[in-house]
Amino acid sequence: MLLKELSNLCGVSGFEQEIRNFIKEKIKDKVDDIKEDKLGNLIAFKEGKNNKKLMLTAHMDEVGFIVSNIEEDGKISIIPLGSIDPRVVLGKKVVIGEKKVPGIIGSKPVHLMTGYEGISSFENIKVDIGVSKKQEAENKVKIGDFVSFAPNAMLHKDWISGKALDDRGGCSILIDLIEANIEPFYNTYFTFVIQEETGLRGSGVAANQIDPDYAIVIETTTSGDNPEFPEARRSSELGKGPVITPAHRGYVNDEKLFNFAIKVAQENNIPYQIKRRTAGGTDAARIAITTGTPSLVISIPSRYIHSPMCVANLQDYQNTFKLLSIIITKEVN
């Protein structure tokens, strides 16, 4: 499992090269074909027993920021790439650009607050890179550089935390599926796509090149099993297995694939859970409207996604891997 390494790489939407290069290096000798398309999607192919085509997709990008301005006092203005709650970034470490210049997202000390003052937007947030003049800052970073949460992955027994589990979890599972050298039933395309977080921008183009008969999107999804949420309204829960999505924004997942995934889980005693929320969309919606491909999302549940620290359970990871490792050897029925 390469999840820890993958999470520590920086691949903010639009800047996926580090992830792409890493994955390519790991899998290139273990697949029948591999190519990088014009947008930067990485598509690896393994021949199956059947000529129909299965597309397995995970997105390489993670939420982050881009440098939008360098201020007179050397502070860095940023714009988010993907949806990020400004409240969760205050005081966090970031790295900027290919040189990974370290910085801290500034925050107001509690001593200067009256009560807990909320902040409403990224307009008020600046990154501090330890300089005091614009000139000095410009020697280190430039407008247009990516800003990524600083690498911070930790493994502890059954738990993993890190900035980019969404969706390096999916990438890691795809790599594991390739490493396991399973002979797939269908001609299978392991597709690592770009810019999911900024609007499902890579997967449609990838689907157009593949024109798959089925697509399964492997995601890292919101758990929402925080103590403050009632159980009924949690999206999913850690430790209860892979999350199978019946419907989400923009697409009701394919009924046949949905039932098939549940059947495989039940027959193999793999724990699974049905996603309880329909908010938020994935590449499945884009693939469906692009090539008319029946699609399904299977996810690793994770807490605190789109924050500097996601938390997931490795049993869930292993069960998600196990479920997919069986699914890809079978005919959908």
**Interface residues toward other proteins, by CB under 8 A:** 213, 230-233, 244, 246-247, 249-255, 258, 262, 274-278, 285, 288-294
Q: What is the C-alpha to C-alpha distance for residues 207 and 191, in angstroms, rounded to an integer?
A: 9
Considering the complex, state which of residue 157 and residue 233 has its C-beta at the smaller distance from other proteins.
Answer: 233
Residue corresponding to tokens 């997709």: 57
Q: Can you say which residues are annotated as belonging to the binding site for Zn(2+)? A: 59, 166, 197, 219, 306
| Minimum CB distance to other proteins, residue 175 (Å) | 28
DSSP H or E segment with residue 78: strand 76-81
Of these residues, 16, 62, 196, 237, which one is catalytic? Answer: 196
Considering the complex, state which of residue 53 and residue 92 has its C-beta at the smaller distance from other proteins.
Answer: 53
Give the list of residues 6+ apart from residue 65 with CB closer than 8 angstroms, or none. Answer: 12, 78, 79, 80, 81, 84, 94, 122, 146, 147, 148
Give the list of residues 6+ apart from residue 215 with CB closer than 8 angstroms, or none. Answer: 54, 55, 56, 57, 207, 284, 287, 288, 293, 294, 295, 296
Termini Cα distance of the chain: 30
Considering the complex, state which of residue 5 and residue 213 has its C-beta at the smaller distance from other proteins.
Answer: 213
Q: What is the C-alpha to C-alpha distance for residues 212 and 1, in angstroms, rounded to an integer?
A: 27
Any bridge partners for residue 149, and if so which?
94
Considering the complex, state which of residue 142 and residue 249 has its C-beta at the smaller distance from other proteins.
Answer: 249
| Minimum CB distance to other proteins, residue 243 (Å) | 12
| Minimum CB distance to other proteins, residue 312 (Å) | 21
- Residue 196 annotated in active site: yes
DSSP characters over 307-321: SS-EEEEHHHHHHHH
Q: Can you say which residues are annotated as belonging to the binding site? A: 59, 166, 197, 219, 306
Instruction: Please answer whether residues 282 and 247 qualify as being in contact, where contact means their C-beta atoms are separated by less than 8 angstroms.
Output: no
| Minimum CB distance to other proteins, residue 157 (Å) | 29
Q: What is the C-alpha to C-alpha distance for residues 254 and 48, in angstroms, rounded to an integer?
A: 22
Q: How far is CA 19 from the centre of its chain?
A: 11
Considering the complex, state which of residue 162 and residue 204 has its C-beta at the smaller distance from other proteins.
Answer: 204
| Minimum CB distance to other proteins, residue 21 (Å) | 34
Would you please indicate which residues are annotated as catalytic (active-site) residues? 196
